[in-house]
Amino acid sequence: MPLKNKAPLTVLATASDRGKRVDLFLVEQLPHYSRSKIQNLIKEEHVTLAGKPLRAKDEVQPGDVFEIQEPAPKPLAKAFPEDIPLDILFEDEDLLVINKPAGMVVHAGADHEEGTLVNALLHHSATLAAKDSFRPGLVHRLDKETSGCLLVAKNDDIHATLSQLFSERKINKTYLAITTGIPRQKKGTIALPIGRHPVQRLKMTVRRPPSGRDATTDYEVLATTSTHALIACSPHTGRMHQIRVHLQQLGHPIVGDPLYGKRDQWQRHLLHAWKLEFTHPRTGKKMKIEAPVPKDFKARLETGGWRFEEF
């Protein structure tokens, strides 16, 4: 069945609204919409006055009746098998640990239907947990530009157990990050709640509850130059962009991060999911898996005079 548009909203301006910017007026009247959402609707001509599109900076006049027609939501992209090589760090009948390369999207989305890790997994394995779902096999995710260890369940029982271990914080993850600037303390814990940015919807930020959810990250400085630090980070929670936000709040954003710092010649944020430690749900074996540090990461280390083998 095709997706349908929602019924249009209408908003009436009164005398007290005279001279206000259209976008700010609509945010006042529709507080469940962010300003960026309203501006995008205006830009895409989904907000009209007397049937005509507007600009965000246009001025409101008393008696104006604005009509807001949200577009129909895009259908979820469906994953399909693709013959894409995988760097497999561990595999048995129950689970896999993949060394995800930087630049690979984990699962299909509106802008990414090809070349995803899930597509590669569907080709590789005849059995994946919840194979008919949107994200088969996945029990956690990594950002597109983050490289390193990613745990995948090959059946539903193991998926349920691994998900429970994540929720109970019994799966330990260690990341490597190269930051701009050097933290004052060599070791520390960052405990700041994280939620979605109220205006810039692609970003997360520190927010008070209930908008922000608890988030805790331990960190340790492994090495420094005059301008940068190599830091090991161990998140105790799994909030979106957690390490990136916490290091920014520490005053030392990750090198190459355009959302929380700035893009530079490294072309991606230098964050690597380095180590993964957990108890195998079926065998009870203590698993310790390490993803080799990628070439671009090592190149940045070498420019600082470091050799990764030292750590």
pLDDT digits (tens, 9 = 90+) for 50-102: 999 999 999 999 999 999 998 876 665 677 889 999 999 999 999 999 999 99
Asked whether residue 5 carries a pLDDT value surpassing 70, the answer given is: no
Asked whether residue 270 carries a pLDDT value surpassing 70, the answer given is: yes
Give the containing element (helix H, strand E) for 40: helix 35-43
Note the pLDDT tens digit of each residue in 192-234. 999 988 878 789 999 998 889 999 999 999 999 888 999 999 9
CATH class of the region 171-311: alpha beta
By three-state DSSP, how is residue 27 classified? Answer: helix
Calculate helix-pair angle for 22-29, 35-43, nearest 10 degrees: 130
Encoded amino acid at 111, one letter: D
pTM of this prediction exceeds 0.85 = no
Superfamily the domain 9-68 falls into: RNA-binding S4 domain (3.10.290.10)
**CA–CA distance, 290 with 173 (Å, rounded to integer):** 10
Q: What are the residue ranges of CATH 3.10.290.10 in the chain?
A: 9-68
Whether 116 contacts 80, CB under 8 Å: no
Among the listed residues 17, 23, 143, 257, the single catalytic one is: 143
Whether 107 contacts 135, CB under 8 Å: yes
Superfamily the domain 74-168 falls into: Pseudouridine synthase (3.30.2350.10)
143 labelled catalytic:
yes
Query: Using 50, 70 and 90 to split pLDDT, how confident is the model at 111?
Result: low
Percentage of the chain lying above the pLDDT 70 cut = 93
- pLDDT at position 200: 81
Among 260, 264, 263, 258, smallest CA distance to 250 is for 260
The DSSP bridge pattern shows strands 88-91 and 47-49 to be unpaired
